Chains A and B, each alone.
Chain A
Amino acid sequence: MEVQKTALYNYHKSLGAKFVPFAGYEMPIQYSDGIVKEHISTRTFAGFFDVSHMGQFFLEGDQTLDKALEEIIPADLNSLKINQSKYSFLLNDNGGIIDDLIITRIDKGFCIILNAACKVNDIKQISKHLSSEHKHYLNSDLSLIALQGPKAVEILEKLIPNVSILKFMNGNNFKFNGSKIYITRSGYTGEDGFEISIPNNKVEILIKLLVNNKVKPIGLGARDTLRLEAGLCLYGHDLNEEINPIEANLKWAIAKKRREKGGFNGWKKIKNYLDNGCSKIRVGILPEGRVIAREGVKIFSAEDKEIGKITSGTFGPSINASVAMGYINYDASGIGNKIKLEVRGKKYDAKISTLPFYKKSYVK
């Protein structure tokens, strides 16, 4: 497969980006500031992220489309208002997570933001539930930019009047440089911010304006430390087809009505987990000291019994501590419970922590 580049590739280069191959794309891992500074810039001012590698999947249809999508997505789409977004997933027949996503109701139907590495398979899986009446297409003429941080709203309001009216997980159409663009108030960093869907031929104009307003470019490296501090899952690491939303501690993302009434892939299994509990669950983990527990690190009980595995781990610059997430036996998952992590053959003390590690309030 040929390596793909986003519309901003050359501009990233001019900003000092170091690129890595990611899900078939050449993406910036960091810029000249480096991961820690980029992380802090996002938490204290504002940063932009090129997430154009993610799929922007559009669906059009009548109410039968709601029904069709509800077979594979456990959100309450029927109650989803126009311009409202929800975090949800695609589920397989076992209730395993095919992908996690953000779905927004727009004119004529829905827009779903899909992970880059999963988007081709996702569309195949979604299509199985659609009828010939339902139109669908992946729009690669659009870029996707996340603008995140406490100053995001003030800066974007200057460039695009009235975006500050948007509430968290709500979107709308706006005008920019003669083009129609769609903005949602959302993100994946634990900060207030926006995701901006904008034509490829206009994205560089917008980014240059952001940079003129001192917004920093942020690479995939800091995106990972930011989302992990915020306790958010990364597909392919913390989530996969073998894990269901209950084990992933994402019960809240399945609408209550849908938990009870079902009618989606894997519901029986999920209902069983809801009623009887599951044997393992995703937790936050705080290692003592500074040791970093990365993906694959084994978790042991105080009595040296192997009880789980780390799925994400890094150093959290905003809390100045090592942070991790992983799956452990349900019995050992109590907050504050002492565990051990095996890193390079040595065992280090750690404890189960609440999530998120870093908390900021969203604008509601």
Chain B
Amino acid sequence: MSEKKFSKKHEWVELNGDVATVGITKHATEMLGDIVFVEVPESGKFIDKDGQAAVVESTKAASDVYSPISGEVTEGNKLIVETPESVNSDPEGVSWFFKIKVKDYSDLDTLMSKAEYDKFVEENAS
């Protein structure tokens, strides 16, 4: 399994063979607050890079989750649909959002490393 890579929209991607797992970052969950509703894409759906893929809703507001890479969805995480609050407790582990079959590996090159992402968050903190 590869190291996690991160997007500026606060998604993480982890590559395993030709399938990438996508979720939202710990930082994203802290900004959202208590998560109460999640909608994940169905398998077979094709999503373009930066296209809207999922919905996450907290007690405060609804937000879109984008796919940092293009490809065909192979699985949406049922666990977080049934227990949305699990996204708050383990966003970068069991509470991933969807798995996607990578179409273009160069999509991954546009993403940040953990250190780069942490720096990005710090610089953009208000």
Contacts and interface: CB of A to CB of B under 8 A. Distances in A.
Contacts of B36: 36, 290, 292, 315, 322
Interface in A198-242: 221, 225
A314 B60 CA distance: 8
Contacts of A37: 34
A322 B37 contact: yes
Contacts of A317: 34
A35 B62 contact: no
A344 B59 contact: no
24 contacts: A29-B60, A30-B33, A35-B34, A35-B59, A36-B34, A36-B36, A36-B85, A221-B33, A221-B59, A225-B59, A290-B36, A290-B37, A290-B81, A290-B84, A291-B37, A292-B37, A292-B62, A294-B62, A314-B59, A315-B36, A315-B59, A322-B36, A322-B37, A344-B62
Interface in A267-324: 290-292, 294, 314-315, 317, 322
Given A290-B84, A344-B55, A35 B37 contact: no
Contacts of A291: 37, 39
Contact of B34 (A34, A290, A294, A344): A34
Q: What class of interface size applies to chain A in its complex with B?
A: 10 to 19
A294 to B, nearest CB: 7
A221 B62 contact: no
Nearest 9 pairs between A and B by C-beta? A315-B36, A36-B34, A35-B59, A290-B37, A292-B37, A34-B34, A35-B34, A292-B57, A34-B33
Interface string B73-117: 000000001001100000000000000000000000000000000
Contact of A35 (B39, B57, B60): B60
- Which of A292, A294, A314 has the most CB atoms of chain B within a 10 A radius of its CB? A292
Contacts of A29: 60
Interface of A: 29-30, 34-37, 221, 225, 290-292, 294, 314-315, 317, 322, 344
B50 to A, nearest CB: 18
Given A290-B84, A344-B55, A221 B60 contact: yes
Contacts of B57: 292, 315
A321 B95 CA distance: 20
Contacts, number: 38
A291 B36 CA distance: 9
Interface in B1-45: 33-34, 36-37, 39
A179 B51 CA distance: 61
A36 B60 CA distance: 11
Contacts of B84: 290
Nearest to A20: B60
A322 B60 CA distance: 13
Nearest to A291: B37
Contact of B33 (A35, A290, A292, A294): A35
A225 B36 CA distance: 12
Nearest to A343: B62
B63 to A, nearest CB: 11
Given A34-B34, A35-B59, 15 more contacts: A29-B60, A34-B33, A35-B33, A35-B34, A37-B34, A221-B33, A221-B59, A221-B60, A290-B84, A291-B39, A292-B37, A292-B57, A314-B59, A315-B36, A322-B36
B56 to A, nearest CB: 11
A344 B63 CA distance: 11
Contacts of A225: 59
A294 B62 CA distance: 9
Contacts of B81: 290
A86 to B, nearest CB: 31
Nearest to A35: B59
B47 to A, nearest CB: 16
Contacts of B33: 30, 34-35, 221
Contacts of B59: 35-36, 221, 225, 314-315
A37 B60 CA distance: 14
A291 B55 CA distance: 10
B105 to A, nearest CB: 31
B35 to A, nearest CB: 9
